[in-house]
Each structure stands twice: as structure tokens, then as C-alpha cells.
Amino acid sequence: MRRAVCAAARLGATVRSFATGKEAYASREEVTNRVLNVVKNFPKVNILKLSPTSHFQKDLGLDSLDAVEVVMALEDEFKIEIPDSDSDKIVSCADAIEYIATRPSKKESLIHHF
């Protein structure tokens, strides 16, 4: 367990309740990188227009169904569940980064990246 905590510290992850295995926070930098990686894998996305502030529809040309699929892909990536009331408000990479960076996710979502 000590090695895992040290590995998390080296990667800049902030780990909370590690001993219980319930919750962990990823660093904003890690969240940003992972969000951008998820979004760039969508066929309609022009990666030259992708940035941490890209709006899904205005900048990336995604329609509302694509935006829903992005949110679902982010849920899979971060092992979280985003309620519909919150997912409707995630319309840009910045919104996704802010939402995910400020909420705990399952420990496994951090560990599989070590």
C-alpha cells in the first residue's frame, strides 16, 4: 500500500481515504489530460481545435447526441456516474474538467493509470 501512495504522489494525484479504498481525487492536470484524450477519440473532433476550453458544439462541431456520448465516455474513463441534471451542464472540456476534478472517483480509476 505504501508503494501505491508514493506512486500516486509522484504522479501528482491527491489521494483521500486510500486505506478504505472508497474515494480518490485525481490532479487537475491528470483530469485535463484524460478528458482531452477521451474527447479527441471521437471521429468528428478536429484535434487541431481541441483545447481544455473547447466547447463541444461551438468549437468541436459535436451535436447534442455526441455531447451525451462524450459524457458517457468520461463516466467510463473516470469510473463515475454523472447525474442527468449535471451532465446537461457539461457543454465543454472546461466544464468536464471542473466537474471531474472537484469530485471523488473510485480508487481504481487512478490506479489503472500507474
Please spell the DSSP secondary structure of 23-79, one letter per residue: -BB--HHHHHHHHHHHHHTSTT--GGG--TT-BTTTTT---HHHHHHHHHHHHHHHT
Average of pLDDT values for 98-112?
70
Average of pLDDT values for 28-48?
97
Contact between residue 36 and residue 28 where contact means Cβ atoms under 8 Å apart: no
Q: What is the mean pLDDT of the chain?
A: 81
Q: Could you tell me the pTM of the whole model?
A: 0.72
Contact between residue 42 and residue 69 where contact means Cβ atoms under 8 Å apart: yes
CA-angle at 70, arms to 90 and 93, nearest 5°: 50
Does residue 2 have a pLDDT over 80? no
- Give the residue numbers marked as catalytic: 63
Average of pLDDT values for 19-32?
73
For the chain, domains (ranges, CATH) are 27-103 (1.10.1200.10)
pLDDT digits 0-9 by tens, 59-93: 999 999 999 999 999 999 999 999 999 999 999 99
pLDDT digits 0-9 by tens, 86-101: 999 999 999 999 999 9
Contact between residue 35 and residue 100 where contact means Cβ atoms under 8 Å apart: yes
Does residue 39 have a pLDDT over 50? yes
